[in-house]
Structure 1
Amino acid sequence: MKKAVSVIRFGLWCALAVFSGTLLIGSSAYLFLSPSLPSVDSLRDINFQTPLRIYSADNKLIAEFGEKRRTPVDFEQVPKELIDAFLAAEDDRFYSHNGVDIVGLARATVQLVSTGSIQSGGSTITMQVAKNFFLSHERVFSRKFNEILLALEIERKLSKQEIMELYLNKIYLGNRAYGIEAAAQVYYGKTIQELTLPQMAMIAGLPKAPSRYNPLVNLTRALERRDWILGRMKTLGMISEPQYTFAVNTPPTATFHGLPVELEAPYVAEMVRMEVIEKLGTAAYTDGYKVYTTINSAQQKAANLAIDKGLQAYDERHGFRGPELQLGESLEIWQQTLKNTSPIGSLEPVVVTEVHEDRAILMLRDGSPAVMDFEQMKWAKPYIDVNRQGKAPKQPSDIVAVGDLIRVRHIDGTVRLSQLPEAQAAIVAMQPKDGAITAIVGGFNFYDSKYNRVTQANRQVGSAFKPFIYTAAINKGMTAATLINDAPVVFNDDQLESHWRPQNDNQKFYGPTRLRKGLYRSRNLVSIRILQRTGIDYTLDLIEQLGMPRDKMPDNLSLSLGSAGITPMELATGYTVLANGGFRIEPYIIQHIDQLDKTIYQADPLIACRNCDETPEAETSSAQTIPAEEGFAAGFSEEGLTLESILEENPINPDGSLTTTDPKELLKSVKKAPRVMDERVNYIVYDMMKDVITEGTGRRAKALNRNDLAGKTGTTNDQRDVWFSGFNPELQATVWMGFDQPKTLGRWEYGANAALPVWIDFMKVALANKPETSLPQPDGIVTMKINPETGKPARPDETNAIFEVFRTENAPKPEFEDEETSTNDNGDFNPGDIF
């Protein structure tokens, strides 16, 4: 009996010694480690490393930049089944322990003693939060002690829901996905609310080893892990037997889903990325910034399609250059080649598998067949050079052969033969009132060439520059009815021992021509004589005032023919002055930048406001709060800005808003764009440019059935560059087409048949259901009938008289007597001014 008591007493003393030793060691570890532990309070203000995201003005995702893909979610947004899956996989006693699971730690200790190495860490979800936010992933005892101490502190200061939310947003789940929302997008292309039970279990299996259990890398192991988690969920009563049976028998559906881009605008994304990095530095990639651009998603889509269609149409006019590859007749080679060949824009790679008398059978990238009728390929005359094609094909075998790798487009249920364009095109659209860019396409394929032709390509603009030459002439006192002789002229240049014989594009001359007709017919000789009369320096001064780069302008008469090399963006900026009533604005593309739902940057554009110096029509007796910038911009109209119209169109916004009791103060707050053109001159030039659409080189645009459009075509020597730039007061768009290494597009390619159709296709969408909005006629303008041949006031009995508009002081006086019209405009001329 005494021996038994002694044994018991010894055992108790041993137990006490172990407990005391453990307590001593634990206390010592706490006293040693606790001073160096980070503050758990910082978890309440944690800023997840979130990528830079770029959106359109209507919240369509354009791009995401950053090493980590992450979309933080609130606990309330997470489905219960998904939380249960993680609990079953990682910590089923999460809601019952205080941050440290003794059972789990004991299991890990037994594994360590029995195997001599750490098999599992026994970590709870709370301990994983401590590790992920504060500690390294080094598998050493000191880190584990820190992890335990931090977990206890986290549990003391945060609720279980807060801890779970931190965990679900922080964990790495493979393929650059951090957090459950990013993982749902990467593996299934869904939000977490759209996931099925087996998909949730698959994601919940990833934290243990994201590479080992990744369904895209090791499907067998991933399925084993998924089914084990489903079994745990059944055992723990989280799901029923039927749910378990259905889930484990569900085939895996995980596939890689790239960036969930909602709007294809890579040139926009790159422009914005560069500007944001310049403003915010490289922290922009990780600090969760959201950039909202001025891009209109409908207009951007229309621009993408218009460029694609325009380049395909150009290619079809010049013939088929043959297949990209000839692969022989090996099915395996066909399949492998298609797998490795990416679609580009709307052009899908296919392999010809059969050729019949009236059709060809194709293999698509997914292995399925498609039929291409001869009707969809008979355009494909053999390409010889840019000006010549071979004989028209009579049957499919004249064009393709079995084993050819070619490109096709799907159009209205048909498959049409296509090819990768060698020419390039670009378009930029913006709002004339403030310079907000609404669409940009810098080339056919950004991923092949990141060269943005809208902002980087300096190209000769040809006749698209002529409106500025005519503007200077009207500004200096000429009128739309002034006669200029369209006749041959030769300028001698003794220095070059050569002659300059400018000609019209059709090699014809038409004699005395009114300015209006000279513009809409795009007469080169008229433009040259106008510049000669107006003066080169005077014209360059005005062009500089319009916001165009003077340093790129030639200081000679070739300026009148558009020999200046400028970018489409610079040309478009000049055209906005013509469109908005005569104000110089500055293009911009970033509307605002947000971080954690707080706006840290807001655009403050110059606004073209014709009535900002007038007193508002509506008065108010009490203070009103309205948005300080966007409200003003939206309130401008032809009728004038009124406080009532602003309040009606813009809800009161207390953030960043303006409060005033004086409606006049509203107008003063506008950041007004400077007026750089007399509004009467602007009105006359706009009226003349409308005739380019109704009677001149832009007649194709009459298909839009609008009376408020104005614009100008442009074609350079040898058809190296073709343009169309056009507008109404609400929208301006400029289109360019050419080769990156300048060479002729072909002898029959002009702005009217190459660039203008692209502009029309874009404007058809951009202006759909928009009311016509012409510039209002300002004071100081008179309209009178003139003789179209002489430009003088018409006699009362003349039947061919037409109406013309003039500035009051420049209107011709009625003189009903014959007068000889002078067309001698040569004057004193220095041949050195030519070049």
Structure 2
Amino acid sequence: MGLGTIVGLYFYVKPDLPSVETLRDVRLQTPMQVYTKDGKLISQFGEQRRIPVTYEELPQYLIDAVLSTEDARFYDHFGVDPIGVLRALSVVLSTGEMREGASTITMQVARNFFLTRDKVLIRKIKEAFIALHIEQLLSKEEILTLYMNKPGLGHRSFGVAAAAEVYYGRTLDELTLAELATIAGLFQAPSALNPISNPERAKQRRRIVLRRMLDTGAITQEEYETAYNAPVTASYHVAEIEVSAPYLAEMVRQEMVNRYGEEVAYNSGFKVYTTVTAEQQEAAERALRENLHDYDERHGYRGAVMKLWGYSPAEVQSLKVGGAIDQATLATIQAHQGQPWDTQSIRDHLQRQPRFGRLIAAVVLAVHEQSADVMLRSGEKVTLPWEALDWARPFLDHDRQGRPPQRANEVLAAGEQIWVRDVEGELRLAQLPGPSSAVVGLNPTDGAVQTIVGGYSFNVSQYNRAMQAKRQVGSTIKPFIYASALDNGFTLSTLVNDAPITQWNPGAYSAWRPRNSPEVYDGPLRLREAIARSKNVVSVRLIRSLGVDTVADYLLRFGFSENDITRSEALSLGSASFTPMEMARAFSVFANGGFLVDPYFIEYIEDNEGNEVYRAEPVYACLECEAIQKRVAEGQVTEEELTEEQQQAYATPLAPRVISQQIAFLISDALRSSIWGGGSWAHDTGWNGTAWRAQALRKRYMSGKTGTTNDVKDAWFAGMMRGSTTVFWVGYDNLENRLGRVTLNSNLGRERQAIVGSDAGGTTALPAWVRYMRDVLPNFDTSPYPLPEGITSARIDQETGQLSQRTDYSSMFEYFIQGTEPTEFTEDEQQAPLIFEDVNDPLFKQ
């Protein structure tokens, strides 16, 4: 009868039994991980934290612990344990309740993969039959491995390896016997026996596990006693992020979801390797943040985050009505009735504060003559010296700062919550910067993103300014206008009149007066000097000569969108709005010899078994490849005649050429003058370019262009060399705010405050690029740009731009496209043209 019953039950449930063949090719849900190019973890995405391990990677102590408590006869039964079944049946008969499930590890695997946890008889029957099938299909080791990797063990950890990371921050092979026993105890009830949520119950369960291990001979008496008395050391550990790049991680997440869908992207165990390196990404983030802090400190201190004690009853009442303080903080304020808080209350408050960048939350405990005692989030008490506070003159508005403080109590008061930051090992008073910033670095050869930061802190704002913020570009538009001029008959020695312009607009009954910044006019200037010194009126005269449509159409070559280009003379002053990424791509055309590359940030993707499922296929800016492909196309050589190296170059996919190599070279070389200037300082003819601060890097073959918009709302710097194009932008998210100007803080002097006056691209964005390059310069090619065919040089007179036979300070060598060099020599008595103010004056002299 019993045998007949079993057979009958089998045929009854057979239609509902799943195919266990799927267990041979099981795909456990594993989170997506994002890495730098050099293998450092950036981020992890997915609902379940799981780290699949093989049987060989399971510690023997863990195996013994699980078997001792979950299924001591695992290696003896055939999937269903008859002894366990009889024991469970006797409990049912004696109590009338199903208190024991008699489930073996194999049956639990069947339930975990194919069934629900409902305590009903039919589920148990199905579980038993599936277990029998599993035992026929898989080895005991394979079954145990599935069991160890599948179940949820609390705090979003799935599988024993993830539990080790979550609870102890270490791998399985690094855990002690006590810690392994704790994890083994979680299989019964992860929520109730959690060592973080319920440490005492977890300890009791651990002792049961250890006792059973001792009874089965898996551990010695000494090992048992040591582990039995060990303290509970579990605490919550997030994934060990090695490199901070949250904006890049979010870009990857969006791309992967678009490519595979959420379910597959998050749970398939993809490993995504980006194009950035840890060193360059960290250097860029550090440079961006330090630059914003430098700006913020120049402009003054805006005060503490909040006051924690010292309130009157009326002030407390207004806090309750205003809702400006969270309920926990308000409750503590009321409990202390205006008196200083105790240490634990301060620590609890600081632990609740958000994390922004490298800022550290602190509370002022006491203020002395020229120092202050503060408590940090960690509970540590430190003293801020005067050198950490003396910068904090009051912020009045964007253009004005208050009187520099003389005593610490002019800056801080006991009970204030403030921010501090670590500067070269010393803590310093800080504040969350007012403006925002972004940086994009590209490899101009193939468009690979070398670094990208979309703001000061992802916790402050997830808005990725590097990719999404279209901001007016100001004078960084000028290299593209000058490239158009060089492509239409102008040369770097062409003289253009740097003189004021006034144009009456009868419709508006007003005059348009574009101005230089600073408002200095020098008369006729060579184009090289005009672009290096960023002369606004020269750009206006160029666009008038060329025509607005000619220049606008030329800008489209650099990948800019038609919708973002204003077809008016204001285009010459940078009225167009582009993102930092678009600017980096466009400037890369000059850096790579005239090709428009496509930016990309994912190098390759691996599945959970390490198989490569995607690799980027960029197009390249390759002069040698272009030359070889041209020779084959013109019939100068056949493919068969190419060497192996030449064949690789011939097969290289080329980016489209958008300007000639000659034009790219001339603009890149002209922008070197933005850094190094020209003339002779010894003979009072020397001049600086707007990017002269980059001279600190002492590299001759760097190029760059600063940019500042009207009312100083945006500051830019684009820096180039053969191996990198990097663009920094600084500005307020709120377009009503401007970057402003600063006066000298007498507490600091010129030694500690190098920048005074109006903010601009050269003072507000360029210093970030210099700081970044100091850290990463050895990674890049800073050799001279190759001299293209069709480029020649001639000695010219620096004042007139004509040929010169002099070899003194008054002359220099200039580059020209062959056939455009001057044909006349300057005469000693020749004078420079007059400065004209009328808009109909002769604008140019060649």
Instruction: State TM-score, norm by structure 2.
Output: 0.88
Is the contact made by 1:50 and 1:287 (CA closer than 8 Å) also made in structure 2? yes
Residue aligning to 1:51: 31
Is the contact made by 1:342 and 1:348 (CA closer than 8 Å) also made in structure 2? no
Is the contact made by 1:327 and 1:333 (CA closer than 8 Å) also made in structure 2? no
State the 1:348 CA deviation. 0.6
Q: Give per-residue Cα distances to partners, 1:280-328, cap 9 Å, x unaligned.
A: 1122122222222112111111111111101111110011111111111
Q: Does 1:521 align with 2:533?
A: yes
Is the contact made by 2:691 and 2:706 (CA closer than 8 Å) also made in structure 1? yes
State the 1:98 CA deviation. 1.7
Q: Does 1:324 align with 2:274?
A: no
Identify which of 541, 544, 549 aligns with 1:537.
Answer: 549
Is the contact made by 1:436 and 1:589 (CA closer than 8 Å) also made in structure 2? yes
State the SS of the aligned residue for 1:563.
Answer: coil
State the SS of the aligned residue for 2:707.
Answer: strand
Identify which of 478, 482, 486 aligns with 2:490.
Answer: 478
State the SS of the aligned residue for 1:675.
Answer: coil
Residue aligning to 2:347: 335
Identify which of 799, 814, 831 aligns with 1:804.
Answer: 814
AA partner of residue 583 (structure 1): F
Counterpart CA distance in 2 for 1:76 and 1:139 is 34
AA partner of residue 620 (structure 2): I
Is the contact made by 1:489 and 1:501 (CA closer than 8 Å) also made in structure 2? yes
Check 1:562–1:446 CA distance in 2 against 1; reply closer, same or farther (3 A cut): same
State the SS of the aligned residue for 1:440.
Answer: strand
Residue aligning to 1:353: 365
Residue aligning to 1:188: 168
Q: Does 1:756 align with 2:766?
A: yes
Residue aligning to 1:689: 671
Q: Give per-residue Cα distances to partners, 1:355-406, cap 9 Å, x unaligned.
A: 1223211111122211211111110011111122222111211111111100
Check 1:537–1:826 CA distance in 2 against 1; reply closer, same or farther (3 A cut): farther
Q: Give per-residue Cα distances to partners, 1:752-804, cap 9 Å, x unaligned.
A: 11111111121222223545233200111111111110011113475521111
Counterpart CA distance in 2 for 1:105 and 1:309 is 68
Residue aligning to 1:620: none
Identify which of 598, 601, 608 aligns with 2:621.
Answer: 608
Q: Which moved more, 1:812-821 or 1:676-685?
A: 812-821
Residue aligning to 1:593: 605
Counterpart CA distance in 2 for 1:776 and 1:823 is 38
Residue aligning to 1:456: 468
Please show how residues 237-636 of structure 1 align to structure 2 within 5 Å: 237-282=217-262, 283-328=264-309, 329-331=340-342, 332-595=344-607, 596-615=609-628
Q: Does 1:669 align with 2:648?
A: no
Counterpart CA distance in 1 for 2:809 and 2:675 is 25
State the SS of the aligned residue for 2:361.
Answer: strand
Counterpart CA distance in 2 for 1:200 and 1:754 is 54
State the SS of the aligned residue for 1:64.
Answer: strand
Q: Does 1:745 align with 2:726?
A: no
State the SS of the aligned residue for 1:370.
Answer: strand
Identify which of 719, 723, 736 aligns with 2:716.
Answer: 723
State the 1:606 CA deviation. 1.2
State the 1:110 CA deviation. 2.5
AA partner of residue 699 (structure 1): W
Check 1:800–1:258 CA distance in 2 against 1; reply closer, same or farther (3 A cut): same
Identify which of 795, 812, 815 aligns with 2:805.
Answer: 795
Q: Does 1:779 align with 2:789?
A: yes
State the 1:829 CA deviation. 7.6
State the 1:52 CA deviation. 2.0
Q: Does 1:95 align with 2:75?
A: yes
State the 1:809 CA deviation. 0.8
Q: Give per-residue Cα distances to partners, 1:730-769, cap 9 Å, x unaligned.
A: 1111101110011211132111111111111212222235
Counterpart CA distance in 1 for 2:297 and 2:552 is 40
State the 1:661 CA deviation. 8.9
Residue aligning to 1:5: none
Counterpart CA distance in 1 for 2:224 and 2:474 is 71
Check 1:95–1:456 CA distance in 2 against 1; reply closer, same or farther (3 A cut): same
AA partner of residue 778 (structure 2): A
Residue aligning to 2:46: 66
State the 1:107 CA deviation. 2.4
Residue aligning to 2:197: 217
Residue aligning to 2:692: 699
AA partner of residue 689 (structure 1): L
**How many percent identity over aligned positions?**
42
Q: Give per-residue Cα distances to partners, 1:339-362, cap 9 Å, x unaligned.
A: 211221110101111212232111
Q: Does 1:22 align with 2:16?
A: no
Is the contact made by 2:722 and 2:782 (CA closer than 8 Å) also made in structure 1? no
Counterpart CA distance in 1 for 2:767 and 2:804 is 38
Identify which of 76, 82, 96 aligns with 1:116.
Answer: 96
Residue aligning to 2:328: none
Q: Which moved more, 1:350-359 or 1:552-561?
A: 350-359
Check 1:98–1:661 CA distance in 2 against 1; reply closer, same or farther (3 A cut): farther
State the 1:697 CA deviation. 1.2
AA partner of residue 792 (structure 1): Q
Is the contact made by 1:730 and 1:773 (CA closer than 8 Å) also made in structure 2? no
Residue aligning to 1:650: none
Counterpart CA distance in 1 for 2:434 and 2:122 is 63
Residue aligning to 1:627: none
State the 1:452 CA deviation. 0.7
Counterpart CA distance in 2 for 1:28 and 1:662 is 72
Q: Give per-residue Cα distances to partners, 1:43-101, cap 9 Å, x unaligned.
A: 11111112222221112221121111111111111211122221122112212222122
Check 1:613–1:721 CA distance in 2 against 1; reply closer, same or farther (3 A cut): closer
State the SS of the aligned residue for 1:809.
Answer: coil
Check 1:786–1:663 CA distance in 2 against 1; reply closer, same or farther (3 A cut): closer
Q: Does 1:208 align with 2:219?
A: no
Residue aligning to 1:629: none
Check 1:147–1:829 CA distance in 2 against 1; reply closer, same or farther (3 A cut): farther
Q: Name the count of aligned residue pairs.
A: 768
Residue aligning to 1:652: none
State the 1:594 CA deviation. 2.1
Q: Give per-residue Cα distances to partners, 1:475-531, cap 9 Å, x unaligned.
A: 112111111111111011112211111111111111111101011111111111112
Counterpart CA distance in 1 for 2:837 and 2:73 is 97
State the 1:234 CA deviation. 1.6
State the 1:260 CA deviation. 2.2
Is the contact made by 1:108 and 1:118 (CA closer than 8 Å) also made in structure 2? yes
**Root mean square deviation of aligned Cα:** 2.0
Check 1:88–1:482 CA distance in 2 against 1; reply closer, same or farther (3 A cut): same
Q: Give per-residue Cα distances to partners, 1:789-823, cap 9 Å, x unaligned.
A: 00111134755211111111101114354666657
Counterpart CA distance in 1 for 2:55 and 2:268 is 21
Q: Does 1:106 align with 2:86?
A: yes
Counterpart CA distance in 2 for 1:80 and 1:360 is 55
Counterpart CA distance in 2 for 1:677 and 1:826 is 34
State the SS of the aligned residue for 1:806.
Answer: strand
